[in-house]
Structure 1
Amino acid sequence: SPSPMSVRRVGFCLSDKKRRRMNLDAFTDFCIDLTQSLGPQGPFDIIIHKLSDVIVEAEHDSQSQQLLDNFQSYVSAHPRTILLDPLPAMTQLLDRFASCRIMSKLHNSLRDWCICSPPYLEIHSAADLPSVQQTVISRGLSFPLICKTRVAHGSLSHEMSLIFSADGLADVQPPCVLQSFVNHGAVLHKVYVVGDRHYCVERPSIKNFPPGPCDRETIFFNSHQVSKPESNSDLTALDENVPYLPPPSSEAVAALVKELRVQLGMALFGVDVIINIHTHTLTVIDINIFPGYEGVPQFFSSLLSHIKTLLEQHSSAMNPWLQKFHQCFTNR
């Protein structure tokens, strides 16, 4: 194992867009260039990455596949390098089918906390469409339904629709997920996780709709635009006086985060939760890989703390390089 005085190196492997959004341009010295050989850029004790673009594009783009292969080869050849987060764990959350399955199991594992997720239906291809109306009924889904793309990354993944009747199911474009829409008073609670710490941020969300089918036309919307802090959308404007909804119980959220950290094997993720306006049940509607942490001023100090915890498992002393890294964060 490395001596206490050895230099510890952290590498960031993020898209330019992600780096700019997280204001990480000051850390160019720590950023990995995937288009160049990783060997000379290392060795790295820990790599913090979000390779979603590369993973999704690799399915149809040989250049992206090559970048991913290079990254995986480096990681395989350096088993002591810690990845935040493990690639297979992150990859599964790019598939909403996989994340819905994870969310649906929370009802059992967190039974004591009355945490659930909405009933959902996977639609794999056009072959599923003739039977979709019957399956919606047999699986206990209820109108309105929210429709989301299967791929949970990229601009298209934010394009969603609200379907109000069996006729509206004609607007479904596979592969996608249908979820029962849960009235929640137009408030979304974003839970941001950084290692053993988490933070809740309140955001605007979709207003309440009368339960049950109706002849309203399908509403197409962009979830990013609806739930941004500064959003001003007709979809978020409540039509009626909504009774006071209690915020999520901090104990229940802590239990949810603890369970998801185990289930996912991840340290950097976000969970979108809402409060059912009728039952006050904490309802999990989405899990996000390495989110933007908007509205979490403690993100950098929490990330540093988690990095230190991981590295101290390898070394008991904080070396000069890590002190410099600490200075970069604390001077922000």
Structure 2
Amino acid sequence: MGGELAYCTEEKEEEVIKDTELEDEKMVAKMRYSAAAIGGGFSPPPSTMKVVVVGYALTSKKIKSFLQPKLEGLARNKGILFVAIDLSKPLSDQGPFDIVLHKLSGKEWRSILEDYRITHPNVTVLDPPDAIQHVYSRQSMLQVVADLNLSDPYGKVGVPEQLVIKKDSSSIPDSVNMAGLRLPLVAKPLFAKSHELSLAYDELSLQKLEPPLVLQEFINHGGVLFKVYIVGEAIKVLRRFSLPDVSKRELKASAGVYRFPRVSCAAASADEADLDPHVAELPPRPLLERLAKELRHRLGLRLFNLDIIREHGTRDRYYVIDINYFPGYGKMPEYEHIFTDFLLSLVQSK
């Protein structure tokens, strides 16, 4: 890992975190969901079937992308009932739930969930709030992968050299030189709520970046990224088009900062494209299974995905460039089967 240089006071860093959490807490205060408002409620499953009640607290955007009719229908047939958590009422007064599924942040919500976990030990909370916080900061999320330093006959998995910049954009060029990072560099917001990124080709352009951010060495990877979706012990891998390779010639001839909304998008599926077989080949399944198992344990999460690239010109050198909690599973083929099986397994394992 590259050196980490902190350029802001602790007070300033706390301000950034507080601003982020304040937005979520405002959202928590405003959100008032009801099961009837989302999809008109659910038909009860057969009376002979034990009902698994899943309380959910999600943003309206997440509800739309995740609770699709095909998921609700299959869940109902399997005896799973999704019930919206009313954030205007105490959580302990609702339910009873077998599982609580959530993707909200903020200190108030974390406190509510932690208290609920203590008073309702038999309810599975997906996932623990403290574990989720760990992957919201790009300063800490990839450190787990770096510490793992996974290497076996199927390949090696690491992270790009990176540098955290918390303040003073004018000092970025010197900091990059001191850390020994090589251009071009990918710049990402320090807090993982945004998928925007920039690609900086020269040192002078680095001063145009806006901290707090993380700088990562750009690794040529054939323009293909692998999204590894993890749902409990299940793994699903999808190809996505990514940023194109940068040649030495292009690096010398290019200057400036290029901004991208995200490194990949759902529309940019590379699964059906005519790609070089060496570029398109999926990472070995045993390698991904070992990586997922280690990260489930070390992160304490069961719902996340990994953005993985393979260094161009190699067959077995992989890098994790991002980790996302409760990602867009709705983009994953047959996600409704994988997710309902996972929910049932949680209840059956109790």
Q: Same fold (TM over 0.5)?
A: yes
Aligned ranges 1:61-210 → 2 under 5 Å: 65-106=107-148, 108-110=149-151, 113-126=155-168, 129-130=170-171, 132-153=172-193, 157-210=194-247
Which of 274, 285, 308 matches 2:309? 274
**What residue is the counterpart of 2:257 in the other structure?**
218
**What residue is the counterpart of 1:13 in the other structure?**
57
**What residue is the counterpart of 2:297 in the other structure?**
262
**What residue is the counterpart of 1:50 in the other structure?**
103
- Give the direction of change, closer, same or farther, for the CA distance of 1:176–1:75 in structure 2 (3 Å limit): same
**1:48 maps to amino acid:** L
- Give the direction of change, closer, same or farther, for the CA distance of 1:194–1:145 in structure 2 (3 Å limit): same
Which of 305, 327, 337 matches 1:301? 337
Task: Give the match's secondary structure for 2:143.
Answer: helix
**What residue is the counterpart of 1:321 in the other structure?**
none
- Give the direction of change, closer, same or farther, for the CA distance of 1:215–1:187 in structure 2 (3 Å limit): closer
Per the normalisation by structure 2, the TM-score is 0.73
> Deviation of residue 138 (structure 1)?
3.7
Unpaired segments ≥5 residues, structure 1: 59-64, 233-240, 315-332
> Deviation of residue 204 (structure 1)?
1.2
- Give the direction of change, closer, same or farther, for the CA distance of 1:248–1:17 in structure 2 (3 Å limit): same
- Give the direction of change, closer, same or farther, for the CA distance of 1:297–1:243 in structure 2 (3 Å limit): closer
- Give the direction of change, closer, same or farther, for the CA distance of 1:109–1:203 in structure 2 (3 Å limit): closer
> Deviation of residue 266 (structure 1)?
1.0
Task: Give the match's secondary structure for 1:283.
Answer: strand
C-alpha contact (below 8 Å) 1:110/1:255 kept by paired residues: no
- Give the direction of change, closer, same or farther, for the CA distance of 1:38–1:177 in structure 2 (3 Å limit): same
Task: Give the match's secondary structure for 1:227.
Answer: coil
> Deviation of residue 301 (structure 1)?
2.0
1:258, 1:303 → 2: CA distance? 18
2:82, 2:331 → 1: CA distance? 26
**What residue is the counterpart of 1:320 in the other structure?**
none
> Deviation of residue 95 (structure 1)?
0.7
1:68, 1:115 → 2: CA distance? 32
**What residue is the counterpart of 1:238 in the other structure?**
none
> Deviation of residue 177 (structure 1)?
0.1
Task: Give the match's secondary structure for 2:309.
Answer: strand
> Deviation of residue 166 (structure 1)?
0.9
2:52, 2:330 → 1: CA distance? 28
The percentage of counterpart residues that share the same residue type is: 33
C-alpha contact (below 8 Å) 1:124/1:174 kept by paired residues: yes
Cα RMSD (Å) = 2.7
Per the normalisation by structure 1, the TM-score is 0.77
Task: Give the match's secondary structure for 1:9.
Answer: strand
**2:57 maps to amino acid:** C
**What residue is the counterpart of 2:87 in the other structure?**
34
Which of 323, 327, 349 matches 1:287? 323
How many aligned residue pairs are there?
Answer: 284
- Give the direction of change, closer, same or farther, for the CA distance of 1:35–1:129 in structure 2 (3 Å limit): farther
Task: Give the match's secondary structure for 2:142.
Answer: helix
C-alpha contact (below 8 Å) 2:173/2:207 kept by paired residues: no
- Give the direction of change, closer, same or farther, for the CA distance of 1:13–1:21 in structure 2 (3 Å limit): same
**1:152 maps to amino acid:** A
**2:55 maps to amino acid:** G
1:242, 1:208 → 2: CA distance? 14
- Give the direction of change, closer, same or farther, for the CA distance of 1:222–1:6 in structure 2 (3 Å limit): closer
Q: Deviations over 1:288-315 (max 9, x none)?
A: 100012442332222222222221232x
1:70, 1:295 → 2: CA distance? 30
